[in-house]
A and B are shown apart, each in its own frame.
Chain A
Amino acid sequence: MIRVVLGLAVLVFGSTGGEIAITYGMKETGEPARLRPRELLQFLGRAVRNGWFWAGVPLMALSFYALLVLLSWEPISLVIPASAMSYVVGTLGAKYILGEQVSAARWAGVVLVCAGVALVAAG
């Protein structure tokens, strides 16, 4: 039980922490001028030279490995509903770390999505 809770904590905080770092890095990188292969490759080239991207990658890798290990212990119908908490944790991070404006409508949507994902994955 404790190992599952710890695994889920690594999964949730690793993925949201990593995604927030990557979002920060991508905003610093700036969007590609056009969505063509050439511009996309140039964008990816600039993106991988951003330090925040490389702060995010190991966190996401850690979270990914926690997911693989959890899936080998527990059924997907338990792992994914529990990891749906990351929608709420991620939105808190977006608001307080990235400074995004999370309106009441967006919060309501996030809470519905979080509960909905838990229900769908529970089967």
Chain B
Amino acid sequence: MSHESRLRIKTLVMVLAMVVCANAGDLMLKRGMSQIGAVQLTAAGVAHAFQLTVTNATIWTGIFFLIGFMTSYMTVLSWADYSYVMPAGAFGYALLTLLAVIFLHESVSLRRWVGVVMICVGVLLVGQTKPRTTEVASEALA
């Protein structure tokens, strides 16, 4: 396998891990924050919200997934461009919509479908550019 296609495949695998962890994490956080309710912007209100946040199990599950996201994100950024990884990660929004339609039988508005198509075309456009355009430390040393 050529160096270029190996780079593409491992970048793709890491971006997929990122997308899964980030979506699971965000979902858990949203659920946890809904349990806590609106935050009052006073010193006491913020302190109270903080206390509720750090003792909420759903929030901690979300944080666990976000650690998985952070690990895959840091790893992929050690070789790939930020301007490649960041838009590619948006594929998660399109994936969530497809999952909602297939498994939850949600009805999706035309506007949202247009958004999904735009994201997919955008990710494909970014995906066919070179994953790395700068030098990497390990290569620079070699």
Taking beta carbons and an 8 Å cutoff, which residues of A are in contact with B?
Answer: 3, 19-20, 22-23, 26-33, 35, 40, 43-44, 47, 53, 68-69, 71-73, 76, 87, 90-91, 93-95, 98-103, 105-106, 108-123
Q: B135 — which chain A residues lie within 8 A by C-beta?
A: 27
Q: Mark B27-64, 1 if CB is under 8 A from A, else 0.
A: 00110010011110100000001000100000000000
Tell me the complex Cα distance, A87–B79, Å. 20
A120→B86 contact, CB < 8 A: no
Interface size class for chain B?
A: 35 or more
Q: In the complex, which residue of chain A has the Cβ closest to the Cβ of B97? A: A120
Contacts of A35 in B (CB 8 A): 10, 13, 75
In the complex, the answer to whether B39 meets A72 with C-beta atoms within 8 Å is yes
Contacts of B86 in A (CB 8 A): 19, 87, 90-91, 94
Per DSSP, chain B at the interface is helix
Contact check, B79 vs A109: say whether CB atoms are below 8 A apart. Answer: no
CA distance A71 to B85 in the complex (A): 25
Q: Chain B residues with Cβ under 8 A from A26's Cβ?
A: 74-75, 77-78
B112 and A110 contacting across the interface, CB-CB below 8 Å: no
Taken residue by residue from 84 to 121, chain B's Cβ proximity to chain A (1 for < 8 Å, 0 otherwise) reads as 10110010011001000000000001011011111111
Given that A26-B74, A94-B81, A116-B122 are contacting pairs, would A123 and B87 also be in contact in the complex, using a CB cutoff of 8 Å? Answer: no
Does A116 lie within 8 Å of B119, measured CB to CB?
Answer: yes
Query: Given B33, B117, B121, which contacts A72 in the complex, CB threshold below 8 Å?
Result: B33
Given contact pairs A27-B137, A105-B125, A116 touches B118 in the complex (Cβ within 8 A): yes
On chain B, the residues within 8 Å of A102 by CB distance are 83
The CA-CA distance from A23 to B90 in the complex, in Å, is: 18
- State whether the Cβ of B129 lies closer than 8 Å to any Cβ in chain A: yes
B115, A119: Cβ atoms under 8 Å?
yes
Q: Which residues of A contact B122 (CB under 8 A)?
A: 108-114, 116
Docked-complex contact A103 and B129, CB < 8 angstroms = yes
Q: Distance in Å from the Cβ of B69 to the closest Cβ of chain A?
A: 11
Across the interface, name the chain A residue whose C-beta is closest to B29.
A68
Which residues of chain A come closer than 8 Å to B2, judged between CB atoms? none
